[in-house]
Amino acid sequence: MWVEAKFWEKRGDEIRCLLCPHQCLIGVDRVGRCGVRKNVGGRLVSLSYGRVVASNLDPIEKKPIFHFLPGSLSFSIATPGCNFRCRFCQNWQISQDLSWIEKLEFVKPERVVEIALRYQASSISYTYTEPTIFYEYAYDICELAREKNLANIFVSNGFINPEPAKRLKGLLDAINVDLKAFNDETYQKICGGRLGPVLDTIRLMHELGVWVEITTLLIPGINDSDEELANIAEFIAGISIDIPWHISAFHPDYKMLDRGPTPLQTLLRAESIGKKVGLRYIYLGNVAREENTYCPECGALLVRRIGFNVLENYLSINGGYCPECGFKVEGLWSSIDNPG
């Protein structure tokens, strides 16, 4: 089953896809760079609609999302494809290999919501691959999820055009954007994308009222200089010092096997840089240590996490306020119809 795509225009026999900044010009019977949007008889169709390649019931902390319904479960889904070509992709088997997409079972949007409710998830996450490229499927699920009081979460590279992003207002509750570097050349050579549109998406999502968290995978020799880390931290702080920054350790994968894992010292250096520019919530991922939330005002432990497990949580029971000094910690700490 193919579903007609959104956001495109005819250019003779060709189609200009307007979903992401690549804006591919797609000939008849050809696909765009994502591999899943095809010109079929002069109309653009989504090959990935309903073709679920991965689904799991995850802790929301795995996204990672730390300031939105902590300790809850998120039903997580993906379809094949991506509009990036990251050389270090950890899910390349489902994001880059599209040879078997039509063999996947078709899953209706209603079915996704039913499963999420059955397993008592608080949200649905569109993750593992890039949700932008299965926009139509995600959008339809988001509408149904909203009716059932389920939150909607994107885990995204942020490479989406403004108009499709704006259409998600009122449906998308939270997003974690991978800010992979602060150098356009790195984006082009390592990821097959561009930096500017990603920065624009982060700003726009924050303006739309979507809860934003940012992840940067620190790759030795690629994006871990003091200058680049400071640029990332200053960009985030320029939007809001309350945006959580997840700094994650790299490990060799896919086509980037020429360097070792990120040393802990590099992550600690990035954390120090982030604190210097005023970021209140910085978390170090892919390392064996706790990722706790502390009160920026008095230093009290507010949420204690080990791995993806929340062991202590004083924010959800206090409406997002520090129980020691009353400081308001930004985020969503209760249900989506009762913001904390």
Q: Is 302 part of a structural domain of the chain?
A: no
Same domain assignment for residues 225 and 273: yes
Q: Is residue 225 part of a domain?
A: yes
Q: What is the CATH number of the domain that holds 149?
A: 3.20.20.70
Q: 229-259 burial, b for 16+ CB within 10 Å, e for fewer? A: bbbbbbbbbebebbbbbbbbbbeeebebeee
Clarify whether residues 151 and 114 are in a common domain: yes
150 in the same domain as 39: no
Q: Which domain holds residue 12?
A: 3-46
Q: Name the token pair of 4.
A: 């007609």
The DSSP code sequence of 277-339 is: TT-S-EEEESSSS---EE-TTT--EEEEEETTEEEEESSGGGTTB-TTT-PBPPSB-S-TTS-
Taking alpha carbons only, the member of 156, 127, 132, 120 closest to residue 52 is 127
Supply the pLDDT for residue 338.
Answer: 41
Residue 268, domain member (yes or no): yes
More confident residue, 218 or 99: 218
- Among 208, 80, 88, 69, residue whose Cα is nearest residue 149: 69
- Are 242 and 127 found together in one domain? yes
Tell me what the mean pLDDT of segment 205-233 comes to.
98
- Per mean pLDDT, which range of 51-65, 301-315, 325-339 is the poorest? 325-339
pLDDT tens-digit readout, 73-125: 999 999 999 999 999 999 999 999 898 898 999 999 999 999 999 999 999 99
**Residue tagged 């998406």 (tokens):** 201
Per-residue pLDDT for 340 more than 80? Answer: no
pLDDT given for residue 334 in this prediction: 82
Same domain, yes or no: 34 and 156: no
pLDDT tens, residue by residue, 125-134: 999 999 999 9
> What is d(CA 17, CA 32) in angstroms, rounded to the nearest whole number?
8
Residues 63 and 42 in one domain: no
In a domain, 194, yes or no: yes
**Does 142 lie in the same domain as 188?**
yes
pLDDT of the residue at 97: 87
Express each pLDDT in 157-177 by its tens digit.
Answer: 999 999 999 999 999 999 999
Total count of domains within the chain? 2
Decide if 132 is inside a domain. Answer: yes
Residues 278 and 168 in one domain: yes
**Is 340 part of any domain?**
no
* pLDDT score, position 339: 39
H or E segment and range at residue 154: strand 151-156
- Tell me: do 117 and 253 sit in the same domain: yes
Residue 336's pLDDT is 60
* Confidence (pLDDT) at 15: 98
The verdict on 73 and 12 lying in the same domain is no
Q: For residues 92 and 32, state if they share a domain.
A: no
